[in-house]
Amino acid sequence: MSIQKNITSFKNNIPETVTLVAVSKTKPVSDIMEAYNAGQRIFGENKVQEMEAKWQELPKDIAWHMIGHVQRNKVKYMAPFVSLIEAVDSKRLLKEINKEAKKNDRVIKCLLQIKIAEEDSKFGLSEAEARELLASEAYQKYDNISVVGLMGMATFTDNEAQIRTEFKKLKRVYDDFSTTHKNFSIVSMGMSGDYPIAIEEGSTMIRVGSAIFGERN
């Protein structure tokens, strides 16, 4: 299967309500251009400097999503161009993004990463922490960020029932927050191994790497 065919197949098979983020981390710019030439314009990376290097080199109509954990001292490198920061997992990071966005005279869109998996290793906020953050006085003052939804990763397991339960939880939290946060429009859930379940559970954004570009080393 070619990258081009994979992109076309995803575009033909996922519902119109679901946005495809092609996760190009570790992959060369030639692979990204193959997807680009098949019409793909949204790409996801998990390292700030790798994303910046690719942004420099590639067409400027690409929308870059940061999908990985971000260290605060790296925010400045992506603030001029990043389209969506999907994995905001602390108040301090949000503060830094607001600061760097202001310097660039931009409003940067963000998602809060909610911890839904059982594994301890996964980054993310609890439902209560996210609720507190969104209600905080500091958050109300951030004019250069817009939190537009939530992101989550299910446990890496063959147990479909468990994955489904975790996605259901994220969707429930998203629906709940959406009633008070009117600019919420994105619930990012689903990767190569679990995106069909995520879509069934109401995902509006899937992040797919290996099913498009092949396995990573």
Q: How far is the CB of 10 from ligand PLP (least distance, A)?
A: 11
Neighbours of 3 (CB within 10 A): 23
Among 23, 145, 150, 173, binds ligand PLP (CB under 6 A): 23
| Nearest alpha carbon to residue 113 among 132, 86, 145, 84 | 86
Which amino acid makes up residue 56?
Q
**In this chain, which stretch among 33-41, 161-169, 172-180, 191-199 interacts with ligand PLP, using CB under 6 A?**
191-199
Cα–Cα distances (Å) from 67 to 13, 57, 156, in that order, read 23, 20, 17
Size of the site for ligand PLP (CB under 6 A): 14
Burial status of residue 183 (CB atoms within 10 A of its CB: 0-12, 13-18, 19 or more): exposed
Q: How far is the CB of 113 from ligand PLP (least distance, A)?
A: 8
Closest-by-Cβ residue to ligand PLP is 209
Q: Return the axis-axis angle of helices 48-57 and 29-37, rounded to nearest 10°.
A: 60
Q: How far is the CB of 50 from ligand PLP (least distance, A)?
A: 12
Is residue 14 involved in binding ligand PLP (CB under 6 A)? Answer: no
**In this chain, which stretch among 75-83, 115-123, 161-169, 189-197 interacts with ligand PLP, using CB under 6 A?**
189-197
Among 68, 124, 149, 152, binds ligand PLP (CB under 6 A): 68
Q: Rounded to 5 degrees, what angle do the CA atoms 82, 87, 90 make?
A: 110
Q: Which parts of 124-183 interact with ligand PLP (CB under 6 A)?
A: 153
Question: Site residues (CB under 6 A) for ligand PLP?
Answer: 23, 25, 46, 67-68, 153, 191-193, 207-211
